[in-house]
Structure formats: C-alpha cells, structure tokens
Amino acid sequence: MALVELPKTSGPTPLTRREFLGTTACALAAATFPSIIPSSALGKDGAVAPSNRVTVGVIGCGPQGRGDMINFLGEADCHVVAVCDLKTDQLGLARRAVNDFYGNEDCRTYHDFRELLARKDIDACLIATPDHWHVLAALAAVNSGKDVYLEKPLGLTLEEGQALRATVHRKRRIFQFGTQQRSSKNFRLAAELVRNGSASFTTSTSGPRAARRAAPASRWRRHPSWITTGGSAPRHSPRTP
C-alpha cells in the first residue's frame, strides 16, 4: 500500500516549552512594572521615599498651630495629611496652606479630633489646642498609637503631666514638648542676665491686650465636650491659640 505524503503548512513554527515560558515572563513583567518610576518614589535625588516619611495630623489650627505646621511642612521627611479644629475659618486656612504647599487638594479636615486619630495612616500628631485640652488630646493620640509634638503648657496640673508621661512610656511612643525657649541661646542669655543682677523682673504690663473682648459663647455650644472640667464661660477671642 502506497503512503500518501501530506502537504506542508505555511503556519508559524511551534514554540518550544522554554521559548514559551521566556516570552510569557517578559510579557508579564512589561504589563505589571511601570515604564518610568519617579526618582522621588525611590528616595533618590535628595527626595525621601514615601515609606520613610512621617505622616502628620494637626489638632488645633489657630495661629500658633499653623505656625508650627509650617515648620513641619518644611521637613522633607514629614507629610501633613489632615487638620482638625472647631473653628471653620481656622480649619480652612490650615487646609489651604497644606494644599498650596503640596500643590494638590488631598488634605482632609475634621472638627472632631477623635476622627483624625482613628486614621491608621497617620504616624504623628501636632497638638496646639487651647491649654485645657493639651493633655486630653495628647493622651488620646498616644493611646491610638501616634507620636506627639505638644505645644506648651504641658497641662493645667502636675497630675496631668505625670499621667501623660506615664502613658507615653507605657505605650513606648515618641513625645516632644514645645519648650525650645528653655534652651535657645537668646533665652539662656536673658536668664543669665537676671541671675547675675544685670536685669530685673517686669512686675506689670499695659497695652491693647489688657482689655479683652469676650466672644459670644453660642458659637461653641455645638461642641459641649470641649468645655471639659473648666465649666462653661465666655471665650476670649484674642486668647484663642
């Protein structure tokens, strides 16, 4: 019986197993790896990689808080992501400063600092609230796992300061207290002048801030929890931090 020779096809040459695996690997790499990675994402050219930045939330956005915040914005390894304040106008000023600095609209705003502290992506908090909320806000931040920079004064009583110190040590958090004036060169010089008798203490002052105008208390009533142990009283707008 004669054998019939089948005609040869002109289709593509079949791939070997090794060639197939190599081609597939290259295709997957091209599809999953971006063609261009910004150097800033890798921490090159003087930039800090996102994984090495400290994300910061600001609690208390008055003039003092915003002034501190500007210093945080100037640190390459810090990234401010959220701001919190009861006063809408102060909150808006802080948010605008952050977004203008980064050139985006990513900064989140809060009226209740507990909502800010609930965010897992925030590493540290700048706290510059009115004095009677310093320790309470700092305790909440430390207990939520945040590191803290706290404006002065530390608290209203020694017991408040001791409670905060104990909590910081127990939670093993990083804490800095805003008392740089105790070690700044000009203040150290002033202290020495007083101690050696070259300068004297001021016993009285006068000026426009001596007479303070009380602001209506109604603006605060929607946040009664902020009154705390001091009781309800008219707030003095020039004294707002």
Residue 188: inside a domain: no
Backbone angles phi, psi at 82, to 5 degrees: -155, 150
Residue 104 lies in a domain: yes
Closest by CA to 122, choosing from 50, 54, 52, is: 54
Are the beta carbons of 137 and 127 closer than 8 angstroms? yes
pLDDT at site 198: 76
Judged on CB neighbours under 10 Å (0-12, 13-18, 19+), 137 is buried
pLDDT of residue 151: 94
pLDDT of the chain, 241 residues: tens digit per residue:
555 555 555 556 665 656 555 665 555 555 555 555 554 444 455 567 777 899 999 999 999 999 999 999 999 999 999 999 999 999 999 999 999 999 999 999 999 999 999 999 999 999 999 999 999 999 999 999 999 999 998 888 999 999 999 999 999 999 998 887 777 888 888 888 888 887 666 666 665 554 544 445 444 445 555 555 555 555 554 444 4
Per-residue confidence (pLDDT) for residue 65, from 0 to 100: 95
The alpha carbons of the chain give a radius of gyration, in whole angstroms, of: 30
pLDDT score recorded for residue 217: 47
Task: Please report whether residue 204 resides in a domain.
Answer: no
The total of structural domains in the chain comes to 1
CB 148 within 8 A of CB 127: yes
Q: What is the pLDDT of residue 220?
A: 43
| Domain presence at residue 34 | no
**Which residue(s) pair with 127 in the sheet?**
59, 150
Find the CATH number of the domain harbouring 97.
Answer: 3.40.50.720
Bridge partners, 175 (sequence order)? 148
Which tokens go with 49? Answer: 């990689």
Query: In angstroms, what CA-CA distances link 130 with 57, 64, 85?
Result: 17, 10, 11
CB atoms within 10 A of CB 128: 26
**Residue 132 domain boundaries:** 48-182
**Is 209 contained in some domain?**
no
The pLDDT value given to residue 9: 53
| Residue 240 burial (C-beta neighbours within 10 Å; 0-12, 13-18, 19+) | middle
Is 131:160 a contact under the CB 8 Å cutoff? no
Q: Distance (Å, rounded) from C-alpha 91 to C-alpha 62?
A: 8
| 132 falls within a domain | yes
- pTM, whole model, 2 decimals? 0.66
Q: What residues contact 55, with CB distance under 8 A and at least 6 apart?
A: 78, 79, 80, 81, 121, 122, 123, 124
Q: Which residues neighbour 40 within 8 Å (Cβ) at sequence distance 6 or greater?
A: 47, 49
| Residue 35 within any structural domain of the chain | no
pLDDT of residue 154: 87
Domain assignment of residue 26, yes or no: no
* Angle, CA of 87, 138 and 238, to the nearest 5°: 35
